[in-house]
A and B are shown apart, each in its own frame.
Chain A
């Protein structure tokens, strides 16, 4: 049975009158790939910093690997944690390799692992170049390589794909997948919801310092009961025929968008809708069924609160 690597109980963080984190309870299991999403200022980064022991909690308890984050034993736990901050700042006067060696010394990691890690993130050729000349994407790759020093068992990745090109994003998640197979736990935030919806095991949606929803993408969809989206491409002039065909589907909503028509209906009416659309064989050129995306879920919870 997987054990909890992160345990957050009733965590509260106040900055004066601002309740940045407000009574968060959360557990993350070993080997889990966990997403933390929310609006800007929802409290994700503050919670990250609290879990890393960078910010003391106003109230509540946070344990990583069973150790309180502000305790003496947490130093040893930290050697097994990799962190990639949202606003990554590195030393411009040093080369990528020198930065890796510096952090390797701090983490008591094997300095011989620095070059292979730079190779892993695609920075082998730039290893000896000063970071001053690195692009944003290269800096982000270097930050990720730094987080992987010392074979971490737990990764905190705050907006890890910031500045990465599509190839870089794919390589990043490929590495993450490999690490997960080795039992590494990762907790990450991202504003690009499409990017993480297929990749995380579970996620938490934060809003005004609280966890508004917690679960798998599937379970959150179920909880909101968001409609399915049928995307249809019709022959020109077939709109009226479609309206007539759907006249006996009162729960369906139809939206014309140029050549594409979106028909939304409750999930439980999926087969009824498919049967109705099958009858339109002569006017239907294409049909796609789209499950509600994580973005739909995110916006659904936002609407529910509003």
Chain B
């Protein structure tokens, strides 16, 4: 039996709020996961590799390459140094110049891929040694362009988390408003229940159960819609950058399933606080 009469607008309002907020929350969560993934990928690449580019006349190229490889071999913090073979270099240039590029006729610089140990190497010291021993070699440790990207990705992740906190706060505020409206509309019912001996927790429970259930259902619908929208996003491949990673992968699809229970907990706490605040004014 429902001791509190079914409410019209507050029911739909709570359902709508919970649904919309859950939908937004799923996107914020996806953005957070994508930014996290991107930051990890870039961070890993940043700490892992560097490149030495050797530009020298053809007659000196082999000699300078040997010097560079020797310098790298004896530099603390360098795990491996690998001369990128011509076919691999051709593959790198293929997107710009096509498959028929005559590498042997062009004076292309040679590339040495450097992998660092976890401790890393002294980039400034290595640059000075290369300048002294192989003047045509330039170290590109990727730091200059990767670090701001990693920082941006980390900040994006922070913003996504902040968005989820704000969504939670807004949900609590709106559920409080809807619950307060429902409590005000049922002031007579509450008064009668008190007069026949109902305790505050019994009366509060009638409202809390209703709003919690609505929030749970609304959030479940919103979450399902959000997940479906993410699934329906077009595949942009690697060229999509962050957009290509917006979504969940594998077990990450379980993350949004936490949204409906969390919305229900927020609604439970917000309605309970509102109910007890109103009940304090009723004898």
Instruction: Tell me whether A and B are bound partners.
Output: no
